Structure formats: structure tokens, C-alpha cells
Amino acid sequence: MSTDYCPLSPIYISDLLDGRLTNVRVHEFHELEPDPCLIFLTDGENYLAVYFNAKGEVISLTRYGSINDPQNMLRDIAETFDVNIVSEEDPRYWGAETEEEIPFMRELHRRAAVTQYPHNCKLPIDEWLAIRKKAALQVDPQTAEVIGIYAGEADPYGTWLDIPPEFDWVGWAQFARAPESDVWVWFGDLPSSTQDALWQKKVAHR
């Protein structure tokens, strides 16, 4: 059992560790494999898993376990850094304004999770991209699964940490995969014949 929370304005991992949180300390689980983008915070009884990106920005605070109750920790963080922290049950967590929008926004988040480069990935970016180049050759337009997501037009896989402003444009990107694969491939990496067939199939189904 788990619940995800996120801050509605930026908090950095360096902020959480600079000593201002007097009732919270880092808790190390020695039995877990180290993750360069994850730490655990504890108040001595309860704990929070804190996930952050390569820039050090906190992207999620997660409660695990049914008897773990980190509400006081969440309140301390919110008050100390003057931010609102909301749970995944709140529309704002998903970037939505109403509960009716949550399913759509949740689906966009799911798509981002399976198509974008995870910056805590242990594979170098070039190797991660090479896997997608190889998988592109296995995509059959007759059986392929296709999804769309808002992504960087110059960086559809989200591999750039500091994208120059002149390239920081977002558009609707299409990704495909073979049914037996978990590797999603950007349309631009597919062979031109596969791209054409998928677009024709898409138009035919409108």
C-alpha cells in the first residue's frame, strides 16, 4: 500500500538536507540497493521515500506501508518551505483542475513513465537510445500498439537535462511498440515505411 505526494512549487533535495527540518533525518535502509535519485526521510517512527530528478528537484514523496503515517513530516516540510503538498487523490497532483480530468491526466503521466528516459536509469543515455533504435526494426505496423503524449519536439525521449530555450518546444509525439515488447519507440526512429503505414492506419480509423 502506498500514497504519492508532490509539492506544487519546487523543493530541492538540498533544501530537505540543509538542517532546517529539525525533526527529520535521513534514514538508510541498508538492505535496499542504492538509488542515486532516492533517499528516505524519517522522524524516528515513520518514513517518506523522496524521489528527485538529476537536477535535485523533488518529484515525489511516497508513503509505503499501512502502519506508516508520515503526515507530521509532510506538514513540517510544507510549513518549513512554504509549499503546498498534495496527494495523488488531489486533482492538482495530476495537473488537473477537477476530479473529472484526473483519469486523462493520470493516463498522460503513465504514458510519460513508459516513453521518457528515467534520469535515475543505470543505463547510459546512448545505450538506452540504442535499445529503442533496435526495437524500431521489430515494430510491425499491422500489430503495433500506438500512444501519444506531449513531449519535447527536439527531445521526444526527454534525455536532455538542460535543454536550450530555443529547442524547448513541446508538441504531441507518437510512440509505437510491438505487442510483446515493453520498449516504446518514437515515430521518428521508425523506418519510413513503418511510419507511413502507421499514419495511413491512423487516418483510416478516423
Strand partners of residue 47: 42
pLDDT higher than threshold 90 for residue 201: no
pLDDT higher than threshold 80 for residue 190: yes
Cell numbers linked to 56? 535535485
| Contacting residues for 198 by C-beta, under 8 A, at least 6 apart | 141, 144, 146, 174, 176, 187, 190
Q: Give the domain ranges of the chain.
A: 2-89, 120-204
Summarised one tens digit per residue, pLDDT across range 77-100 is: 999 999 999 998 888 888 777 888
**The whole model's pTM is what?**
0.60
DSSP class of residue 118 equals P
pLDDT higher than threshold 80 for residue 38: yes
pLDDT higher than threshold 80 for residue 32: no
Cα(110)–Cα(125) distance, integer angstroms: 21
Cα(48)–Cα(70) distance, integer angstroms: 7
Cβ distance 92 to 9 under 8 Å? no
Summarised one tens digit per residue, pLDDT across range 120-164 is: 677 888 999 999 999 999 999 999 999 888 888 888 998 887 778
Identify the pLDDT of residue 80: 93
Strand partners of residue 58: 52
Q: Determine the residue type at 157.
A: Y
DSSP 3-state assignment of 52?
Answer: strand
Cα(5)–Cα(88) distance, integer angstroms: 6
- pLDDT category of residue 192 using cuts at 50, 70 and 90: very high
- pLDDT category of residue 36 using cuts at 50, 70 and 90: low
Strand partners of residue 173: 149
Cell numbers linked to 176? 509505437
Cβ distance 40 to 125 under 8 Å? no
pLDDT higher than threshold 60 for residue 31: no
| Element at 102 (helix H, strand E) | helix 102-115
In the predicted model, what is the mean pLDDT of residues 181-194? 93
Of 107, 56, 60, whose CA–CA distance to 87 is shortest?
60
